[in-house]
Chains A and B, each alone.
Chain A
Amino acid sequence: MSANSVQVLANAGKGESTRTLLRVIILLLIAGAAIASRLFSVIRFESIIHEFDPWFNFRATRYLVAHGFYKFWDWFDDRTWHPLGRVTGGTLYPGLMVTSGAIYHALRALTIPVDIRNICVLLAPAFSGLTAYAAYLLTNEMTPSPSAGLLAAAFMGIAPGYISRSVAGSYDNEAIAIFLLVFTFYLWIKALKQGSMLWGALCALFYGYMVASWGGYAFITCLLPLHAFVLICMGRYSTRLYVSYTTWYALGTLASMQIPFVGFLPVKTSEHMPALGIFGFLQLLAFLDYVRSAIPSRQYQTFLWLFASGTFGLGLLVLVVATSAGVIAPWSGRFYSLWDTGYAKIHIPIIASVSEHQPTAWPAFFFDLNMLIWLFPAGVYLCFQQLADEHVFIVVYALFGSYFAGVMVRLMLTLTPVVCVAAAIAISNVLDTYLDARSPNPEDHQVDDVSDGTAKKAAKSGLKSTSKPVVGVYSTVSKSIVATAMTAYLLLFVLHCTWVTSNAYSSPSVVLASRLPDGSQHIIDDYREAYQWLRQNTREDAKIMSWWDYGYQIGGMADRPTLVDNNTWNNTHIATVGKAMSSREEVSYPIMRQHEVDYVLVVFGGLLGYSGDDINKFLWMVRIAEGIWPDEVKEREFFTPRGEYKVDADATETMKNSLMYKMSYYNYQSLFPPGQAQDRVRGVRLPDVGPTLNVLDEAFTSENWIIRIYKVKDLDNLGRDHASAAAFERGHKKKKANKKRVARLLRVD
């Protein structure tokens, strides 16, 4: 029957060139799949930059393309962090912008006119294809099985843990950084295996590119020394390790120092010290290794112990002294929060307030990696079985990566590559065993044994356990069952990935989607509506005050100066905004005047049930402000006596008088029939009488009330304070009420 065609197929797969061709085609298909699955957001919504940080990257890229590289390098931005400004060129990772700028100019040179926005939107998907290829290369270094690399590439291409940061439009540093991470690891393994300076130098160059692209480069800076250290501890020091590591470190450190934002950090901060320490340690080891070859081994042992322990102790001492004397900067706060997950919450609220810095919840692992997460330990176990230098790397990476992925949601991203590689090793091992069409033939082995000699045979007949059993799968049934099960798992995995990508990770979060009762999609476009309003109705230099989350978007979409943005480099300035938001109007108004604020922007989800609004973030503003002004802003006063965070009639006076509360609920009750005003996020009924605003005028409220913009009033013409001026405007009614009451009292008397 079909035996003939199977034969043809089998023969076709045998030639070396055919295999290479197949491999190239498969890799291309994988890259295609990786790109395609990231395009959901473009198809569902449109070609638009997502979220928060990408808006800044996009703005910087436009600046780079418009003004050229040198201007970009020296860019001082006076339209953010008003009135401080930001030395943007020196405080960003330029890799992403330079990459898209280079692509832009290359395409221009090829006479392909393309909008820079489309390059930015599609950069992440394009690089995901390259990441898949890098994963293929890395896995091929680990195992001789040719299928493992292809599986790893496929996993890498569609694993949601990576897709979460690389859908089309997610124009963030991670978009290219993960490719660089995996590729740097591949080059490192290659350099280590061959002991080649050139590969080490390439590794250093890509490490430099990585440093230019993402703050997560510290992951490599710590992982490679750790790998080297583990190898040394296992007694696997080799000249190859010396050559590859020292070349990488000497060149890579210099390369990393070229980035202004990194500057002297590699020689000054503790995060970079392990790499330096291992570098020095390897020099000693190389020297010892040389001495070992020169003198008898007993003498050498004396030499070794004295020398090594003495120097190591000395180095440690120097490090401790230098750290305590302040020569080397102490570990930074973000670093502490990696060890103690409660640290940031107590000491640095600005770090803890970012949702992606929260510890990972357990389901997230399964959600982001699905079946890979249970294949991952199997793959690591298989690495233990072989345990060459490169397998040690996978083991070390797995431990390191798992820990950090557990500590911070965002670092799931760095775990994903090793999970893909390990899972691919596990699956390919299973498939190689069970898909082997030939059944092992016990007779072959017996013949071998007989030919070995009669003495052996005699021993074998006596003791059965001494003979090596013939390992293999005989039954076709078990083969087909396992193969079918694996295939089913793989298919389910693809389903899961597609589902997660389309449902969880493809929303631009600038544009929201909802479903109408009839099932059709309804686009909620309040953000762009409001930013467009700002762009068209305010002065070019009108300063907008908002919580820092929206700073980049206001800068990118509305093109207006902001007080604080997502860069969060100045905690005090953010605390100032937090204080203005959380204080009474009389306190806030001078702050806003001092900072020349023209408009205040708040995000309010009460009408729509949009939970990411400012009232829900409000406690962070209070906490951050409290960190600077503990006497004036107190978190406790925003909670009811029973310790609840309430916005309805039971809310505390401080809460009701805070500017944020007033701006959010101003005039809100007028939307509803009396007594029915409802906040759909908090699920509470609001009091009938809404808050009054004296120092602000409502300027704009978007269609679904998500964004509300207020104009800061000028000083009163008659020199009154705003409260009395507003009371005068409302005047007559109140006075009458007063009079009535007074009159009534009089009458009673």
Chain B
Amino acid sequence: MAQKHRIPRETTPQTPQAAKTSTTATAPTAAQTTPIVSKQAAAAAKQQINSWDQVVRNLTNYYVDSTPQRTKLIDAFMAFLVVVGALQFLYCVLAGNYPFNAFLSGFSATVGQFVLTASLRIQTNEANKSDFPSVSPERAFADFVACSLILHFFCVNFIN
């Protein structure tokens, strides 16, 4: 709900024409001077390229500055899972999927563990508190453990 309202509100100050192509702060003026659509798109694309490294820089700054240490630990675990999953997938592509059971259970163990960890990360995030009125961080961790147990039970059972 919140997101649905937020985006229109921010774009309404612009003129309707500008709002269509607004990408960065300078976009509206450029758009107003060039009425042809293809030119607009080209200009927008140029500015996007300029803004890309800015986006990435903002992102890394934000991450390094405002993430608690514990969350970073969770992130490291998630990165590890991504690497393991990617390796398994690569192996499957290169060396064949012969024990398909084993591949599937190994791969889905990493994927499942990844999403569970992501869920834990979301639920323990202070900013998301309002989304989860009934889930305290402790409860989130207990859920995480329970779900992981179920996940690995299925994986072990499926591995043949």
Contact = CB atoms under 8 A, between A and B. Distances in A.
A286 B118 contact: yes
B147 A197 contact: yes
Contact of A236 (B4, B62, B118): B4
B138 interface: no
Across the A-B interface, the 3 shortest Cβ-Cβ residue pairs: A250-B112, A235-B4, A197-B143
Interface string B89-130: 000000000001000110010011001101110110001100
B144 interface: yes
A196 B143 contact: yes
Given A196-B135, A291-B59, A302-B51, A201 B22 contact: no
Contact of B119 (A197, A236, A237): A197
Nearest to B51: A299
Interface size class of A (residues with CB under 8 A): 35 or more
A691 interface: no
B69 interface: no
B79 to A, nearest CB: 13
Given A236-B4, A296-B58, A299-B24, A198 B51 contact: no
Given A243-B119, A299-B58, A251 B112 contact: yes
Contacts of A303: 55
A518 to B, nearest CB: 62
Nearest to B118: A286
A47 B32 CA distance: 81
B51 A238 contact: no
A306 interface: yes
A719 to B, nearest CB: 55
B72 to A, nearest CB: 14
Contacts of A240: 131-132
A283 B120 CA distance: 14
Contacts of A297: 6-7, 10
Interface in A232-259: 234-240, 242-243, 246-247, 249-251, 253-255, 257-258
Nearest to B123: A243
A475 interface: no
A243 B122 contact: yes
Contacts of B54: 299
A709 B18 CA distance: 83
A566 interface: no
Contacts of A306: 48
B8 to A, nearest CB: 10
Given A258-B158, A301-B22, 14 more contacts: A196-B132, A204-B150, A235-B3, A236-B1, A240-B132, A242-B118, A242-B122, A246-B116, A250-B115, A251-B154, A254-B154, A254-B155, A257-B154, A295-B58
Interface in B127-158: 127-128, 131-132, 134-135, 140, 142-144, 146-147, 150-151, 154-155, 157-158
A296 B22 CA distance: 13
B15 interface: no
Contacts, number: 128
A711 to B, nearest CB: 47
B115 to A, nearest CB: 4
B3 to A, nearest CB: 6
A201 B146 contact: yes
Contacts of A234: 4
Interface of chain A: mostly helix, strand, loop or mixed: helix
15 contacts: A195-B131, A196-B134, A197-B144, A236-B3, A242-B119, A243-B123, A247-B116, A250-B108, A250-B111, A251-B112, A254-B151, A255-B154, A295-B59, A298-B23, A301-B7
B37 interface: no
Nearest to A289: B3
Contacts of A454: none
Contacts of B127: 293
A264 interface: yes
B131 A238 contact: yes
B15 to A, nearest CB: 15
B130 to A, nearest CB: 10
A205 interface: yes
A294 interface: yes
Given A238-B131, A250-B112, A295-B62, A301 B23 contact: yes
A194 interface: yes
A296 B54 CA distance: 11
Nearest to A198: B143
A32 B115 CA distance: 43
B154 A201 contact: no
A238 B2 CA distance: 9
A198 B134 CA distance: 12
B150 A201 contact: yes
Contacts of B143: 196-198, 201
A247 B134 CA distance: 17
A540 B157 CA distance: 39
B154 A267 contact: no
B36 interface: no
Most buried by B among A243, A246, A293, A303: A243
Contacts of B150: 201, 204-205, 251
A298 B3 CA distance: 14
Interface in A267-326: 267, 283, 286, 291, 293-299, 301-303, 306
A254 B112 contact: yes
A243 B135 CA distance: 12
A449 B158 CA distance: 68
Interface in A184-200: 194-198, 200
B122 A286 contact: yes
A238 B127 CA distance: 13
A458 B144 CA distance: 60
B132 A298 contact: no
B25 interface: yes
A1 to B, nearest CB: 48
Interface string B1-37: 1011011001000000000001111010000000000
A198 B139 CA distance: 9
Contacts of B62: 294-295
A200 B4 CA distance: 25
B80 interface: no
Most buried by A among B3, B4, B122: B122
A239 B128 contact: yes
Given A251-B151, A255-B154, A286-B122, A239 B131 contact: yes
Contacts of B118: 242, 246, 286
Contact of B147 (A236, A251, A267, A295): A251
B147 to A, nearest CB: 5
Contacts of B4: 234-236
Contacts of B119: 197, 242-243, 246-247
B134 A194 contact: yes
Contacts of A201: 143, 146-147, 150
A240 B129 CA distance: 11
